[in-house]
Structures are given as C-alpha cells and as structure tokens.
Chains A and B, each alone.
Chain A
Amino acid sequence: MRDLKHIHFYEDLLEQANNELVQKAKGEGKACVAYTCYYMPEALLNLDNSFSVRLRAPHTGSLDISQYYMSSFICGYSRALLERAFEGGYNFIDCYFASDTCQQMVRVVENIHEMNLIDNKRFYYNIIDAPLKVTEHGTEFYINQVKTRFLEPLRDKFNCDISEEALKKAVEMHNRMCAIFEEISEMRKEENPKITPREFHILCLVSYACPTYLILPYLEETLEDLRHRQKDEKNRWRARVVVVGSEIDDYTFSEILESCNCYVVADRYCYGSIPGRQQIKLNDKEPILDQVCRNYLETNQCPRFMSQDKIQGRRDLVKKLVEEYKADGVIYEQAKFCDFWGYERMLAGRVMQDEYKIPTTQIDREYVVSGSGQLMTRIQAFVESLEIKKIQAKEAKNGKE
C-alpha cells in the first residue's frame, strides 16, 4: 500500500514529547497538562486554555540516574519518565496530574516534585485517590476528586473555563477524535485490512501525545485518505491477534509484530485505543463532569479494579474483541516489574487458554523494545502455532465432511 497521508509527520511528532504541535499550543499560551493514566479523564483536560499530553519518553537510553533514585526493580516506563525529567525533557509541562493507582507511577511525580525537576515557574501537580470498584459512592468520590484536584486548579491557576458549556465543548471535541478511531477500527475487522498495525499504533499515539485541537484536522485528513486507500491484493497477514496488557507507547512493538506478519486487530493496552478512543455519549439530564467521570470508571480496564464484576468484565471484553475482530489469538503483554499486569497476565492468560479455549501467549518486555530479538522469536513462534492450529482445524473440518 502507498504511504498513509501525514504518516511521516506523525512519526516526527513522536520523536519527542515536546513536539511541534505541543510547542505550537504552548506558543498560543495554553497550559500543558501532562498525565499517564486512564484514570485521568482526558476528555476534560482539553479546555479552552489547556491541552493534554500523555507522557512518553522517546529514545530512552541509559537509566542510570533514575535507577539510583528508584532502584532497578521499577518498571522501565516509570524510570524512563524520571530520567527524562532529570534531563530537562519535561520543562514544557505546566501541570502533572496523576492518580494514586500504580504506586510506581505515583512515585515518579513525587520524585519530580521533591527534587524540583521541572524548570517551569508555573509547574503544578496533583494526585487523586481513585476507587478500584464502581459504586455509586465511589463514583461520587471520584467526581469530587477530579473536580477539586484537576478542574478547579485549572480554573484558578491557568484561567481555564470549566463551566458546563466549556466541558461540553471539550467532550464534543474528544468525541470527534474518537469517531475517527471508531471508523478506522472497523477497518481492522476486514480480512485484508487497509491499515497496518504500525500505522494504527502511530495514529493512536499521536492522538494521545498532541493537543487534540491541533492533531484533529490531520487525523480527519488521514481518515479521508484511508477511506479511498487501495489495499494490497495479497493478504500478507498470517495471524490476527488481540494485544492486551500494560503501557506501550512505542510503535516499534507493532512493527515487530508486523515484521512477523502478525496483525493486531485490537489494542487493549494502556495507550491503546480500547478503551480511550470510543465516544462518550452525553445526556442532558446530568452534569457533564458526572457523566464523563462515570464513563471513565466504567470503561476502565486497569487490573487494579478488584471487584468480581470488573475482573470478569475484563476477561469478557477480551473474548468479545476476539470474536468481533475475528482474531486467532491473544497476546498478553506485561511491562517488566508491573505488578498489576504480572498477575493479570498470569491469571487471565490461563483463563483464556484453558477456559475460553482461545490460543494465548504471555510475554513480558522492557520499556524499550526496539531490537528485541527475543520478543520477535516469541511472536514468530506464536504466529506459527496459530497457523498450525488453523491448518489442524481445517483438516479436522475436511475430515468430518
């Protein structure tokens, strides 16, 4: 297939956290709100005078300094963020909003605060205490946290409009972006899709890493281009998989899968599109804040949700994705030292394989995956096993006939 419109521009944007569009929005006087977790209601952070950036640490190399401060047993993503903060790579951010969910991630912002690592006079941070089950009083608690610890400081310190109308406008803009991803996601259901896993991953990452209002026009043009894109005649994909797991903000991961002719039909991981790139349906009965917060709690797939309905819900969602997107198998991936996904991978991986009879493989990986021959070998082996299963199933079917 020919190159997708703007794809090289997107690749450039992902080269650094403080990318061209972030600089442009900052130049317009808007406050940059950094965050890392789905507990942050992204849809509410892109207000009239603010924009959100989900933090990444592209081109991470040595982690010596962060290793000294955080030890070597901490997930690579957390260490990479702290290292980049030490290097001055996040001086452009005005706010850092976090949630006391994954303790390693919280410690990043706490270290940044204690050591005064952000060279920005306007810098402000806050951390919410978020519930790990969905109940009426839990939602009320979460709404109150988001209101008092994120929105009100944005109003008071950064002059953002947080009126009902402003919030509605922010959600509508968010929904415009999600509508693009919903349409592109549909394309992934096709047998020979017209978008590659690498391309989808790039689109998804820029949508998180850039100001929504600036990336939106580009994404709309890319969608239009995709609608008319000619597919390759030959279907090169040997297997279709759902990827489930912890944070992946480096599209090299998808490149590795792509190089094994393994197609990612659904990206159910942190920084992926499921959840995060689905429209939030609003009603006129409740305040926007309440509706959005409830949406983020209900759609949240973080393994820290420990109620039985949520645990079962996570497994059912993966099963549904396999069926809906016609996947051959599931890859459960875990960033090394991530406790949440370590357990979830172990247990849900077993459930998929043994109870749901869905071929599943489990991998753990470093934050930087480029050049990981080991990862490629694992993926190749899994793809081969899926192919063998397909051949065996076909033979069994023919035999019966």
Chain B
Amino acid sequence: MEKNKHIADNYKPKTCIYKRREWRGLKDTLYDFGQWLKLWGILAGWLLAHPIQNIKALFRYRWMYTYLTVVSFFDRLMSQMRGAALRAARNNMNTLAKIVTKHLTILFSADEHLHPHSKRAKKKSEHIILIDELLPGIFGAGFKGYNTILYQVAPVYLPSLINQHAPVHYISQTESYGLPADVCPLPSYEAGVAIEDDFCKVGKCFISCNMPCDGSIMTSAVQDRRHGLPTMPLNVPLRWKREEVMDYAVKEYKSVIKFIEEQTGAKYDYEELRKACEIWNEQTRMKMEKWELNKTDIPPHTGSTSWLYRIFEYQFACGNAAALKNDKKVNAILRKQVAQGKFPKTVKHRAIIWNTPCNNYANFNEWLLDCWGIDSVCEMIDFQGSEIIDTSTPETMLYGIAKMAQGATMRVHTKGGYEVILDDLWVKMEEFNADMVIMFEQISCKGVAAISGLFEEQAMKRNVKFVWVKQDLMDPTSISRRDMRDDINKFMKTVMREEPLDESLVDFDDSESW
C-alpha cells in the first residue's frame, strides 16, 4: 500500500459508507465484486424464500433492521484487502451469511410472535432446543431431528457487530428497569431484549450457562422470566486448567442431556455426536494451521474477519460440514500465498490484541493496519476450545465437549485464574513474534480490569510496547470508535513517534455509521 491513500476521503461524511467501491487492482476488484454479488444473492435467496415471514420479522423485531446493513458491514471488514487475505475474508463471511440466513429461517418459521396460532409453527418450535450463545452448539448434534439454536446470537451478538447503534436501545431499556450502567453491555443488552419481548418465541426448553462472566450468570434470570421455558443451567467449571473439575463437568453434560431427553422425548444419539466431533476436530486443525501461517514473516490471515469467523465457527458452526468445506478452501488459498512469498500489505508492527474486542468497532483491526500499519497477527479472542476431541467412546466425547465449553470465547482467558490471561499474553507474543501489545480496557469487564496493574507492571519489566485502548464492548455511547482511535493515535505519535500511513484516517467522524 502506498502512503497517504486518503482512504477516508471515500467515506460519506459521518457514516463511513463508501462513496464508491474500492479499487484494489483489476483482479482483486473483480474478485471482490463477484463475492459482493454472491452475498446479495444469498440475502435475496433468503428473503424471497419466505418473503411475508421475513418482512413481518423486520417490523416485529427492532434488531432485525440491522441485518439490512450487512453488506456495508462486510465491506468495512474488508477495507484495503488484497490477495489471499481478501479471498479468505470474503469466503469466511459469505459462509457465515449462508449459515445465519438458514438459522433465521428456522427461527422465524417456528416463531409464535410471527405465526400466532399456527400449528405448523408450533410443531417446528417443539423441535428447537435453545442454548445460551456462549455454549458451543455441538452437543446438540446428538439430538437428531432437532435444531439447536443459540438463543441470543440472532438478536444480540450479530447485531452488536453489524451496527454499533443496535445495542443502545436495549441497554437503555435495561438501565431504565433499574440495572446499574457499569455492568457489561452484553448481558445488559440480552436483558433488554427480554424486557422488550424481542426474543423470538420458540423452543421446547432452554439450557442456560454461567459463561462468560458474572453478569451473564445474572442476565439468565431476566431471560427466564420472559421465555418461561423449562430451563436447566449448565454449570461450566471456572478453573478449567485443573483436571479435578472434569468429572463434574462431564456429569453436568450428562444431566443436561437427560434433561433434554425428558423434555423432548428424544433419545441422544452418540453416533451423530461422533460425526459432528470429527468435523469439529478437522475445523480445529484448520484453525491451527492458520495460526501457524500467521506466525510466519508474511501473516496472511489477520484482521477482524479472522477472529469473527472463528468465534462464529466455534459457537455456531462447530461440527458444520459447510464451515469445514470453507476452511479447507480458505487454508488452500492462504497456504499458496505464503508459499509464493507474496505479502500485499504494508506492515510496520506485528501486534497482539489482548482482551475482548470491541463489538461496536469490529473493523478496528482494519483501521489499525490502514492507518498505522499495525497488523494484528494474534488476537486473544481467537483462542477458543482448541483441543482435539477423542471420539473413541461416548465418555471421551463428553469429556471433549465439556473441555471445549470450558475454553469458550473470552472466558478461556478471563476465567481459570489470572495466570491464564496474564502469562499467556507473553507466551503468545513470543510465538507470534509480535513487537507490540494492544490491550483493550473493556471498562465494564471487571475480571480483567481487576488485574490491570499486573499487566502494566509486567509490560514495563519486559520492556514491551504496550498501549491501552478503552472500549465498552457494545455500548458506543460511553466510548466511541473515535475515542478508541484517539488512544492509538496518541500512543503512536507521542510514544512511538511515528507518522501514520494514511493521514486521512487519523481523525474522522463516523458517529452515524452503522
């Protein structure tokens, strides 16, 4: 990338929407345009399959309009990408779009809010098992003929990424109800959706859990009151590095399976679970290869599409054959570029991004690279349950999925003792040959905040370039995207004494952007 491309000049004022599509050279622009059309095809196919139902959903659920902006979201995530990075990103995100649209169809066609008094919808609803969004859905594979739905993904998690303003209304609702504003916006948003009655009314039963944090434990009580379904909490042990917790963890899964069997009348099928676990093992191997490629001098798979897809795959598409197919395709593309020694981006720093990323600024990684040449070669959020599951017996599989759940998104580092998040940072720094740490100060994440001094001191002792970036996960009203950029700008100018790659990106207003 040449210096000063004036990327921000292509943004419509305040909105960050492109005035025209990016020019990436003939080959890449054509590829990007083709994939962009493919995305439109996926969305159109979904809409036209059930037009009335989907339009009803659009008017029924406030969060649903956010999905209309998904094309722009994908464009933001792929800013300035070339070569393998662009191809990997587009393939990942289009796979995600395909799976999510299928998921929305399952949800809406069973939704009593959209189909009151419909026997057909009710029947479909009875074949849905709801689980907390932090639980990997893989164990649901054993309930053949049933759909395991991560309850909060469609109304909460995805909208918070796609549109920075989506959570604001729901968080306000929860706070009006009496919740203090200092709690994490994720459970607060979930509670707000429940208070507003904006969850789809589906499901035979619900499996809640204690992940990822104290706030998430508590928000389940608010949601319970709204859906009124038979609920069982799955207690996932916190000290996940200790072998002694495993017996309890497996028994918890067994009790959950028994509970679902009682609720649905279905019999758990371990052969189906084995098939899903084997696919997941392959998915994990694919991810491990990506990490290895990123450890090279020419990291090909960095940025938000990488971690975002990984979260999605771990929770939502674990054991999903379509996701694995995409992984194989993407890995082949990445491998080829590394073998060729191509590196179509300007990188001045290899950074580790630690702590939970900011959902309302998912494309922060792209800004770091485009503005300052900081490539995020390693992200904390990328390291979910990555142990291979032993599929030899039902016991070993339950052990594997129990272990996998303990290493869930975020909590794999935020739970299990302070060493897990603190020591692993320095390990990863070395493994990925990083030269700086970008540490998110997620102001409402108390587990990490409570050891912030330890990070600071150890970074000083190790003489590591370490920058704090304040954010509030899903609430742009407390810390905006511009504030986050400002933390980096100040550090880069005053501590690092560097000049930006693109001056136009240093400070701009995107407050009205999705």
Which A residues lie at the B interface, using CB under 8 A? 68-71, 73-74, 78, 100, 102-104, 107-108, 110-111, 114-115, 127, 129, 131-133, 135, 137-138, 140-141, 144-145, 148, 303-304, 306-308, 311, 334, 336-337, 339-340, 342-347, 349-350, 362, 364
Q: Given contacts A74-B449, A339-B214, is CB(A110)–CB(B417) below 8 Å?
A: yes
* B224–A308 touching, CB < 8 Å: yes
Contacts of B255 in A (CB 8 A): 135, 137
Provide the bound-state CA to CA distance between A311 and B213, in Å. Answer: 18
Contacts of B244 in A (CB 8 A): 144-145, 148
* A73–B218 touching, CB < 8 Å: no
Q: Which of A110, A304, A349, A362 makes the CB contact (< 8 A) with B451? A: A110
Q: Which of B177, B444, B450 makes the CB contact (< 8 A) with A103? A: B450
Assess whether B215 is interfacial by the CB under 8 Å rule.
yes
Q: Given contacts A70-B450, A71-B450, A103-B447, is CB(A344)–CB(B218) below 8 Å?
A: yes
Q: Which of B179, B237, B417, B447 makes the CB contact (< 8 A) with A343? A: B179
Assess whether B54 is interfacial by the CB under 8 Å rule.
no
Assess whether B219 is interfacial by the CB under 8 Å rule.
yes
* B242–A129 touching, CB < 8 Å: yes
Q: Which of A111, A137, A339, A345 has the most CB of B within 10 A?
A: A339
Nearest B residue to A314 via CB reads B221
Q: Given contacts A73-B444, A306-B210, is CB(A343)–CB(B219) below 8 Å?
A: yes
Q: Given contacts A110-B417, A308-B231, A339-B214, is CB(A71)–CB(B449) below 8 Å?
A: yes
17 contacts between A and B (CB under 8 A): A69-B450, A70-B450, A103-B213, A103-B415, A104-B447, A110-B417, A114-B454, A129-B245, A131-B248, A148-B244, A306-B220, A306-B233, A307-B232, A336-B182, A340-B217, A342-B180, A342-B182
Which B residues lie at the A interface, using CB under 8 A? 177-180, 182-184, 187, 191, 208, 210, 213-215, 217-222, 224-225, 231-233, 235, 237-239, 242, 244-245, 247-248, 251-252, 255, 414-415, 417-418, 441, 443-444, 446-447, 449-454
Q: Given contacts A339-B214, A342-B183, is CB(A69)–CB(B452) below 8 Å?
A: yes
Q: Which of B177, B233, B239 makes the CB contact (< 8 A) with A127? A: B239
* B450–A141 touching, CB < 8 Å: no
Provide the bound-state CA to CA distance between A203 and B242, in Å. Answer: 40
User: How many whole Å from A109's CB to the nearest CB in chain B?
Assistant: 10
Contacts of B248 in A (CB 8 A): 131, 137-138, 140-141
* B235–A138 touching, CB < 8 Å: yes
Provide the bound-state CA to CA distance between A102 and B415, in Å. Answer: 11
Contacts of B251 in A (CB 8 A): 137
Provide the bound-state CA to CA distance between A284 and B177, in Å. Answer: 49
Q: Given contacts A73-B444, A141-B248, is CB(A307)–CB(B233) below 8 Å?
A: yes
Q: Which of A69, A74, A127, A140 makes the CB contact (< 8 A) with B446? A: A74
* B221–A337 touching, CB < 8 Å: no
Contacts of A308 in B (CB 8 A): 224, 231
Nearest B residue to A341 via CB reads B218
Q: Which of A104, A343, A345, A350 makes the CB contact (< 8 A) with B450? A: A104
